[in-house]
Amino acid sequence: MSRTILINGDNGQLKDWSQVNWKKIRKNVRNLRQRIFRARKLGQWKQLRRLQKLMIKSRSNLLLSVRQITQVNTGKQTAGIDKEVINTPAQRVKLVNEWKMPKASPTKRVYIPKSNGKKRPLGIPTIKDRVAQAIVKNSLEPEWEAVFEANSYGFRPGRNCQDAIGQCWIRLNTSPTCGGHKWVLDADIKGFFDNIAHETIMEMIGFVPRGKLIKDWLEAGFIDEGKYNPTETGTPQGGVISPLLANIGLHGLETVIKQANPKLGIIRYADDFVVTSKDKESLENALTQSEQWLSERGLKISDEKTKMVHIDDGFNFLGFNIRQYNGKCLIKPQKEKVLAFCKKIGQTLSEMKANTQEQVINRINPLLRGFANYYRGVVSKETFSYINYRVWQYLWRWSLRRHPNKPKKWVKNRYFKRYRGVDWMFMCQGTGRKGKEKSEILYDISKTPIVRHIKVKGQASPD
């Protein structure tokens, strides 16, 4: 009883953000999501809509959504057109206690650089719109998780790039028990997020609770350099609910492609998809089928990024290179991604000429671990060793620049130590959380163990 009072207060008002029982809140939302999932699986439409309304009104869903948007998400410090951010527990309490579902506001248009030198437009909703989208997403997502196609892997709970790559290997492996496919259609949908028809999304989701609000988000427009621009098509990249709406808009692509040939393999990650076959002719038919289906949704295949290749020549997908070597399908990190990563490390160090060794280690280690975790499930040992050597070169150069008048032996002894029988370890003594001294050591990416990824099964979902 005391816990309830601490969370809700005597009059149902939240008083102390730190006293919220997040374990219980997450359990409440998870249980409701699972009930929505089951209702859709069983075709219980009235029950489904009732549960979705309950989710939208749920206090637990509101609390969890506010926490996700204002504390967890990487864009929590990015304001929308109202220039408002929520930073403090008191602000979060105020937002929860005064909560009313807001009307859709235009997004703020920002641009981020792409690897090809172009810029990708993002639409940043206001904080309140993001919270509202998170609330609605929790009601809509489990319904669609119950019916989404098995080989759709992008922006879905419990699924990731490694699952998509695992399915590629299953289809392209030469073993008789696997696909044994030799030909690949590597396709990309041109300007997907900007061009998907609003009518397609709204027809797909049907009469759902807060469906009108979803339509308003799609049509809210954006502010670019102080000028309002309407949005007649597309779903803004940057919106919390946008990836889900994108997947809903592309639901059915796998079914359409397999209607031409049930033996084709298809792996889709958001707007990128791969079709595999034992012969090239089947892929040409699949391309024609997919182009026709996409055109009905205001979309088309990118000629620039779409190609048909034999597995002996290989192809790149999600940062991996998939190719057959002497009859064996091997998956390795994409060469361009490896070189770009090394360049990023070099640029980072060039910006840290005046920083301490401890600061450098704490900045570089997360980058190395992130890269290693992404690629540790494929043939990456040689790549990791190469990156380790390149990083050592960058660090040696960084160390020499700091002491141009010192002999190299002195520099080596200052920055590179022997640790557990291994020489040339970039390390120093740093300060731990409680002020105690501890060793700060650069992560040795070459020692990363290769652990095969266990692919998600079929239509499995955490809901």
Token pair 């997502």 is found at 141
pLDDT confidence of residue 178: 54
Q: Is the pLDDT of residue 10 over 70?
A: no
pLDDT confidence of residue 89: 96
Least confident segment among 38-42, 64-68, 135-139, 459-463: 459-463
**Per-residue pLDDT reduced to its tens digit, 285-301:** 999 999 999 999 999 99
Q: Is the pLDDT of residue 224 over 50?
A: yes
pLDDT confidence of residue 8: 39
Q: Is the pLDDT of residue 77 over 60?
A: yes
Among residues 315, 274, 449, the alpha carbon closest in space to that of 377 is found at: 449
If you average pLDDT over residues 257-281, what whole number do you get? 93
| Cross-strand partners of 325 | 328
Q: What percent of the chain has pLDDT over 70?
A: 96
Give the mean pLDDT of the chain: 92
**Per-residue pLDDT reduced to its tens digit, 166-175:** 999 999 986 5
Among residues 265, 116, 258, the alpha carbon closest in space to that of 185 is found at: 265
Q: Is the pLDDT of residue 11 over 60?
A: no
The token pair at 380 is 């990456």
Q: Is 7 helix (H, G, I), strand (E, B) or coil?
A: helix
Q: Is the pLDDT of residue 6 over 70?
A: no
**Per-residue pLDDT reduced to its tens digit, 320-376:** 999 999 888 999 999 999 999 999 999 999 999 999 999 999 999 999 999 999 999
Q: Is the pLDDT of residue 205 over 90?
A: yes
Q: CB count, 10 Å around CB of 70?
A: 21
pLDDT confidence of residue 276: 96
If you average pLDDT over residues 383-404, what whole number do you get? 97
Q: Is the pLDDT of residue 108 over 80?
A: yes
H or E segment to which residue 112 belongs: strand 107-113
- What is the spatial distance between Cα 368 and Cα 342, in angstroms, rounded to a whole number? 10
If you average pLDDT over residues 192-204, what whole number do you get? 95
pLDDT confidence of residue 242: 96
Cα of first residue to Cα of last residue in the chain, in angstroms, is 30
Please, are residues 245 and 236 in contact by the beta-carbon 8 Å criterion? no
pLDDT confidence of residue 463: 75
The token pair at 90 is 């008191």
If you average pLDDT over residues 198-202, what whole number do you get? 96
Q: CB count, 10 Å around CB of 168?
A: 24
pLDDT confidence of residue 136: 98
Please give the domain boundaries of the chain with CATH numbers for all domains.
Answer: 2-147+198-232 (no CATH), 161-190+247-332 (3.30.70.270), 335-447 (no CATH)
Helix pair 357-375, 381-402: axis angle to 10 deg: 170
Among residues 368, 361, 362, 373, the alpha carbon closest in space to that of 344 is found at: 368
CA of residue 438 relative to chain centroid, distance? 34
What band does 131 get if pLDDT is binned at 50, 70 and 90? very high
pLDDT confidence of residue 327: 84
Q: Is the pLDDT of residue 9 over 80?
A: no
pLDDT confidence of residue 176: 54
Q: What are phi and psi of 410, to 5 degrees?
A: -65, -45
What band does 116 get if pLDDT is binned at 50, 70 and 90? confident
pLDDT confidence of residue 462: 83
Q: Is the pLDDT of residue 3 over 70?
A: no
pLDDT confidence of residue 457: 87
Q: Is the pLDDT of residue 119 over 90?
A: no
The token pair at 361 is 């280690």
If you average pLDDT over residues 300-325, what whole number do you get? 95
Among residues 287, 300, 186, the alpha carbon closest in space to that of 233 is found at: 300
Query: Angle at CA 226, nearest 5°, toward 224 and 230?
Result: 50
pLDDT confidence of residue 60: 97
Q: What are phi and psi of 10, to 5 degrees?
A: -65, -30
Q: Which residues contact 270 (CB under 8 A, 6 or more apart)?
A: 154, 155, 192, 243, 246, 247
